Amino acid sequence: MASNLPHATRRQLLVTGGALFAWSYLPHFARAADARDPRFIAIILRGALDGLGAVPPIGDPSYAALHGPIALSLTGDTPALPLDGFFALHPSMTNLVRLYGARQATIVHATATAYRDRSHFDGQDVLESGYAGAGRTDSGWLNRAVSVLPKGERIAARGKALGVGPATPLILRGGAPVTGWTPSTLPAVQDDLEQRLLALYRERDKALATVLTESLDIEKIAQREAGGMRPVGGNVIEAMRTPARGAAKLLAADDGPRIAALAFDGWDTHANEGGATGRLAQLLAGLDAAIAEFETGLGAAWKDTVVVAITEFGRTAKVNGTTGTDHGTGTVAFLAGGALAGGKMVADWPGLRDEQLFEKRDLKATTDLRAVLKGLLVDHLNIGMAQIEGVFPDSTSAKPLRGLIA
Amino acid sequence: MAADSTQQALVALNRFGFGARGGNSGDLAAAASDPRGFVLAELTSPRSTRLENPILHSTDALLSELYGLQQQERAYRIAVNQQSANQQAANGQVASEPTETPAPQPFAPLPPQPNFNVIAERFRAEALARIQRAHAPACGFVERLVTFWSNHFCISAIKGPGVRVTAGAFEREAIRPHVLGRFADLLRAVEQHPAMLFYLDNAQSIGPNSRAGQNGKRGLNENLAREIMELHTLGVDGGYTQADVTAFARIITGWTVVGPAARLGTPGTFTFNANAHEPGAQTLLRKTYAEDGVAQGEQALDDLARHPSTAKFIATKLVRHFIADDPPQALVDKLANVFRDSDGDLKAVSTALVNDPLSWSTPLTKIRSPYEFLVASSRLFARTPDQPQRYLGALALMGAPLWQPPGPNGFADTNFAWATPNGMKARLEISNQIAKRLGNLTDPEEALDAAAGAAASADLKQTIGRAESREQAIALVLMSPEFQRR
């Protein structure tokens, strides 16, 4: 925030002649004037990512012993990628480290939602709903964010947010209109059949009519933008790369969606998690490839893009009895995109000594993930300071973290 | 047949079963004449839940086969490495003594490479048997119960070959025998089955103070213990703590699967490994369980099966699955009471569900799951599949790959999960494909009559009547609200 405030102020002064104004509307004004067309992509990593495995705190004296046989280091055949002298990045994430060097990636460490129990499904519900506790699955924070986008901005006029994959994730469910798209593997259905079915649904089943209409609309854009797109491969990396490639094309289109959510499964590494190579390494390589697909596919729009990859909670600091990690608390969030003021770690490091761990087992969460997300929504999507509290109810203690966006 | 009695027949066939069979089955008329009796008839045959087929193998046979393949692979790798070492040694010799003619190296022939396709073949055979079975009964209520419990106690083939090869056997051995039996028996059979012990990592969990824990490098893994309480019995709000999870994880240390060396029994069977078991008493949900070997965990499981939270959790899931996304509380309470009063008699619980008036008066608003939709489609056209690939591909396309849910909570059970733009697009593509396959061999009006009879709307009849081809009409029947909702 600090970096773009002076610029916005100058502009505002010219227009208003120095009148007082609510500063929270400032970025909104500035954005409208410079005609940005921002993109925002949320990737949910289901299963709980091991933040200490993905972004090892190499400089913490307790780390190597706690993570034991799967701990990473800056030496050896596959060394971790240095970030800032204290933290390093998993060697699988070569694209992310490049973006970090180009100030287009930020990593938040020791972060978590307000959820402090260890159920995946409640944890994901809290992560995606944006509520302070479990049990609310009526709407997701990204959907509520869409519903309070400032009127008149280009993004608000760009239609519905996009859920990628066979099912719409909770983060995008709710009152604001959402659509879904998944790559096709069967021959196309005749338009005529679709139209007859739609007419039948309009008479007999309004809910299915709505769903089918959206399906037909989004497929039209997809087919136009991506002739011959087909999912390929069955491996972990392709399973993330393929939907990202398709979603990037939709988001890049002039009349395509501007906001999207994807979910990648498989992060629940209880056994044989692996270190520089192995299961987690594969998963991180997939995520890294997906981010690279967004960068490539969005082209010129990448400079106005933010991708966030978030997970329901972290994993135990200490390796368990099966060379994996059990459900924990604090973890990392990855931010990537040309709109970021990147190249930095955001971490209030709690330490890893026994008494510094949460319940003596997990990395403590010292940064509220909601503060990060709120900061992004405010500065990147120009959501007002009053509206943002409705997007993340009961989160006033987690003040929006400013300065993430260039 | 009046519209009212047809509507009740649709409840019997679609809400509780897999839909009417086409041809001359007369399912719709039979269901209309006595809807409750039509559903409950399947519960009286004691073996109706089993699936016995001589081409399917038991878990221990399947795992022994897998162990054999893995051993074969190790032997092959060793031989390959040996051969390349020999080759390097021979090359070195040639380089240092260029004047001598190198003698041909006596390489031993490589052992045969293992054929891992067998794993996929076993999986497909199990899938086909399950799918075919769903086509046999008039109603299919028992098969629906099997799929419900199989999803409740799900495993995922994505975990690895040990789970993939036993996924079908798990359902046949641990689920089917108990779907009309006692919940406690079902629970024990599931948690002691090798597929579950592999899937949720308990096979490798070792008590830190056990003999193996003291000697070795492995230790406790709390995955299975947590999911038993969160997903299989109490539910996430069932009143347990992290300390309970850890205690229960210790209690079930030693519950594992016999390996290829057959040290603790027949390879591929459940065993209790006392060497890996955490010694001593443990406190779970404020009750202390004395050290008692495998019985310590079995007693704890029995108590979890009888816990009031379990009755409530199971009742809620059953009503949500069969009746409505927002389960009517009165019906949930009633089933929970039956569950408690009958000590988890699942036949009594299932019967109570079918007998309740709410089950017949609640509108048919749920969307069929992808599996229900596919089975109902091929039942309607009286086409029992003779190969599973098309089914498996279609299920994956709709986001519900067989025995491969995204997590241990199984596939979602609400319209929100299935009535999505992408989900409906996949259904439409599959309906289109089915219609194209059937070509002009089937009369769409007969199909509609078999599926919905007098309950078919005038709009639907008109749409079918005006379709430009039989193919198109068949796709429209399959996509109609009458066929998609149950």
Residue A162 bridge partners (DSSP)? A179, A260
Give percent of chain A with pLDDT exceeding 90. Answer: 64
Angle between helices B308-322 and B141-152 (to 10 degrees): 130
- The percent of chain A in helix, strand and coil, each rounded to the nearest 5, is 40, 15, 45
Give the closest of B409, B420, B467 to A180, CB-based. Answer: B420
Angle, CA A205 vertex, CA A199 and CA A210 arms, to 5°: 75
Transcribe A267-327 into DSSP letters: ----S---SSSSHHHHHHHHHHHHHHHHHHHHGGGGGGEEEEEEES--BBSS--TTSS--B
B221 contact A CB<8A: yes
Query: Is B359's pLDDT higher than 70?
Result: yes
Q: Which of A175-184, A211-220, B145-154, B429-438 shows the lowest mean pLDDT across its residues?
A: A175-184
Query: Is A158's pLDDT higher than 70?
Result: no
Instruction: For residue B415, list chain A residues with Cβ-Cβ distance below 8 A.
Output: 207
Chain A closest-CA separation from residue B166 CA (Å): 20
B106-165: per-residue pLDDT in tens? 567 888 888 889 999 999 999 999 999 999 999 999 999 999 999 999 999 989 999 999
Query: Is B192's pLDDT higher than 80?
Result: yes
Interface test with A, best of B425, B466, B485 (most A CBs within 10 A): B425
Q: Are strands B282-284 and A88-89 parallel, antiparallel or unpaired?
A: unpaired
Please give the pLDDT value at position A183.
Answer: 64
Instruction: Determine whether the interchain pair A215/B422 forms a contact, defined as Cβ–Cβ distance below 8 Å.
Output: yes
**Mean pLDDT of the region A69-90:** 95
Assign A163 a pLDDT band (cuts: 50, 70, 90). confident
Please give the pLDDT value at position B263.
Answer: 94
Q: Is A152 left (phi over 0), alpha (psi -120 to 50) or beta?
A: left
Instruction: For residue B398, list chain A residues with Cβ-Cβ distance below 8 A.
Output: 166
Between CA A73 and CA A339 the distance in angstroms is 31
- The type of residue at A248 is A
Between CA A108 and CA A404 the distance in angstroms is 11
Please give the pLDDT value at position A154.
Answer: 64
Please give the pLDDT value at position A166.
Answer: 61
**Mean pLDDT of the region B445-474:** 90
C-alpha A174, offset from chain centre: 18
Please give the pLDDT value at position A21.
Answer: 30
Chain B closest-CA separation from residue A71 CA (Å): 15
Instruction: For residue B219, list chain A residues with Cβ-Cβ distance below 8 A.
Output: 320-322
Chain B closest-CA separation from residue A320 CA (Å): 6
A95-137: per-residue pLDDT in tens? 999 999 999 999 999 999 999 999 887 899 899 999 999 888 8
Between CA B403 and CA B389 the distance in angstroms is 14
* Residue with the larger pLDDT of the pair A78 and B95: A78
Q: Are the C-beta atoms of residues A272 and A279 closer than 8 Å to each other? A: yes
Give the closest of B230, B433, B459 to A119, CB-based. Answer: B230
Give percent of chain A with pLDDT exceeding 70. Answer: 84
Assign B440 a pLDDT band (cuts: 50, 70, 90). low
Chain A closest-CA separation from residue B80 CA (Å): 23
**Mean pLDDT of the region B435-462:** 87
Residue A263 bridge partners (DSSP)? A44
Q: What are the structural domain ranges in chain B?
A: 3-36+365-484, 59-89+108-179
Instruction: For residue B420, list chain A residues with Cβ-Cβ distance below 8 A.
Output: 163, 166-168, 180, 211
Please give the pLDDT value at position A8.
Answer: 31
Instruction: For residue A327, list chain B residues with Cβ-Cβ distance below 8 A.
Output: 222, 226
Instruction: Determine whether the interchain pair B459/A47 forms a contact, defined as Cβ–Cβ distance below 8 Å.
Output: no
Give the closest of A120, A212, A321 to B218, CB-based. Answer: A321
Instruction: Determine whether the interchain pair B422/A163 forms a contact, defined as Cβ–Cβ distance below 8 Å.
Output: yes
B210 contact A CB<8A: no
Q: Which of A276-280, B186-190, B229-233, B354-358 shows the lowest mean pLDDT across its residues?
A: A276-280
**Mean pLDDT of the region B304-318:** 98
Give the closest of A204, A268, A322 to B218, CB-based. Answer: A322
B475 contact A CB<8A: yes
Chain A closest-CA separation from residue B217 CA (Å): 7
Q: How distant, in Å, are the alpha carbons of A300, A384, B192, B394 from that of A343?
A: 20, 26, 50, 44
- Within 34-63 of B, beta carbons closer than 8 Å to A belong to none
Residue of A nearest to B225 (CA): A326
Phi and psi at residue A81, in whole multiples of 5°?
Answer: -95, 115
- Within 409-428 of B, beta carbons closer than 8 Å to A belong to 409, 412, 415-426, 428
**Mean pLDDT of the region B317-341:** 98
Chain B closest-CA separation from residue A193 CA (Å): 6
Kindly report the average pLDDT of chain B as a whole number: 93
Q: How many residues does chain A have?
A: 406
**Mean pLDDT of the region B195-217:** 94
Q: In this complex, how many residue pairs, one in chain A and one in chain B, have their CB atoms less than 8 Å apart?
A: 165
Angle, CA A349 vertex, CA A382 and CA A268 arms, to 5°: 80
Token pair in block for residue A51: 């933040």
Instruction: For residue B459, list chain A residues with Cβ-Cβ distance below 8 A.
Output: 200, 203-204
B398 contact A CB<8A: yes
Token pair in block for residue A90: 């998993």
Please give the pLDDT value at position B218.
Answer: 84
Assign B82 a pLDDT band (cuts: 50, 70, 90). confident
Residue A315 bridge partners (DSSP)? A327
* Residue with the larger pLDDT of the pair B199 and B115: B199
Instruction: Determine whether the interchain pair B406/A218 forms a contact, defined as Cβ–Cβ distance below 8 Å.
Output: no
Token pair in block for residue A99: 């973006």
Instruction: For residue B430, list chain A residues with Cβ-Cβ distance below 8 A.
Output: 186
* Residue with the larger pLDDT of the pair A237 and A234: A237
Instruction: Determine whether the interchain pair B475/A208 forms a contact, defined as Cβ–Cβ distance below 8 Å.
Output: no
Please give the pLDDT value at position A30.
Answer: 40
Please give the pLDDT value at position A79.
Answer: 95
Give the closest of B220, B429, B472 to A320, CB-based. Answer: B220
Please give the pLDDT value at position A151.
Answer: 77
Assign A217 a pLDDT band (cuts: 50, 70, 90). confident
Please give the pLDDT value at position A226.
Answer: 55
Assign A275 a pLDDT band (cuts: 50, 70, 90). very high
Q: Start-end ranges of CATH 3.40.720 in chain A?
A: 39-183+231-391
Question: DSSP 3-state assignment of B37?
Answer: helix
Instruction: Determine whether the interchain pair B201/A322 forms a contact, defined as Cβ–Cβ distance below 8 Å.
Output: yes
Please give the pLDDT value at position B100.
Answer: 53
Please give the pLDDT value at position A19.
Answer: 28
**Mean pLDDT of the region A295-310:** 97
Question: DSSP 3-state assignment of B283?
Answer: strand
A164-209: per-residue pLDDT in tens? 876 678 899 888 888 888 765 555 576 778 888 999 999 999 999 9
Between CA B135 and CA A235 the distance in angstroms is 33
Instruction: Determine whether the interchain pair B423/A167 forms a contact, defined as Cβ–Cβ distance below 8 Å.
Output: yes
B222 contact A CB<8A: yes
Residue of B nearest to A169 (CA): B417
Assign B171 a pLDDT band (cuts: 50, 70, 90). very high
Instruction: Determine whether the interchain pair B420/A163 forms a contact, defined as Cβ–Cβ distance below 8 Å.
Output: yes
Interface test with A, best of B418, B422, B472, B483 (most A CBs within 10 A): B422
**Mean pLDDT of the region A314-322:** 94
Phi and psi at residue B98, in whole multiples of 5°?
Answer: -65, -20
Provide the b/e sequence for A271-282 (b: ≥16 CB within 10 Å).
Answer: bebbbbebbbbb
Instruction: Determine whether the interchain pair A180/B421 forms a contact, defined as Cβ–Cβ distance below 8 Å.
Output: yes
Between CA B303 and CA B299 the distance in angstroms is 6
Give the closest of A46, A203, A215 to B425, CB-based. Answer: A215
In the block, residue with structure tokens 């994430």: A93
Q: What is the ipTM of this complex?
A: 0.86
| Torsion sign, CA atoms B406, B409, B412, B413 | positive
Please give the pLDDT value at position A15.
Answer: 29
B230 contact A CB<8A: yes
Chain A closest-CA separation from residue B94 CA (Å): 32
Assign B87 a pLDDT band (cuts: 50, 70, 90). confident
Residue A311 bridge partners (DSSP)? A45
- Within 158-197 of B, beta carbons closer than 8 Å to A belong to 158
Instruction: Determine whether the interchain pair A185/B397 forms a contact, defined as Cβ–Cβ distance below 8 Å.
Output: yes
Instruction: Determine whether the interchain pair A180/B206 forms a contact, defined as Cβ–Cβ distance below 8 Å.
Output: no
Provide the b/e sequence for B424-434 (b: ≥16 CB within 10 Å).
Answer: bbbbbbbbbbb
Chain B closest-CA separation from residue A11 CA (Å): 44
Chain B closest-CA separation from residue A270 CA (Å): 7
Between CA B446 and CA B449 the distance in angstroms is 5
Q: Are the C-beta atoms of residues A350 and A364 closer than 8 Å to each other? A: yes
- Within 366-395 of B, beta carbons closer than 8 Å to A belong to 393
Q: Are the C-beta atoms of residues A260 and A162 closer than 8 Å to each other? A: yes
Please give the pLDDT value at position A80.
Answer: 97
Please give the pLDDT value at position B133.
Answer: 96
B201 contact A CB<8A: yes
* Residue with the larger pLDDT of the pair A183 and A82: A82
Query: Is A5's pLDDT higher than 80?
Result: no
Instruction: Determine whether the interchain pair B221/A194 forms a contact, defined as Cβ–Cβ distance below 8 Å.
Output: no
Fold of A39-183+231-391: Alkaline Phosphatase, subunit A (3.40.720)
Instruction: Determine whether the interchain pair A186/B213 forms a contact, defined as Cβ–Cβ distance below 8 Å.
Output: no
Question: DSSP 3-state assignment of A109?
Answer: strand
In the block, residue with structure tokens 């009888």: B306
Q: Are the C-beta atoms of residues A321 and B218 closer than 8 Å to each other? A: yes
Instruction: For residue B425, list chain A residues with Cβ-Cβ distance below 8 A.
Output: 182, 184, 215, 219
B205 contact A CB<8A: yes
Assign B467 a pLDDT band (cuts: 50, 70, 90). confident
* Residue with the larger pLDDT of the pair B100 and B203: B203
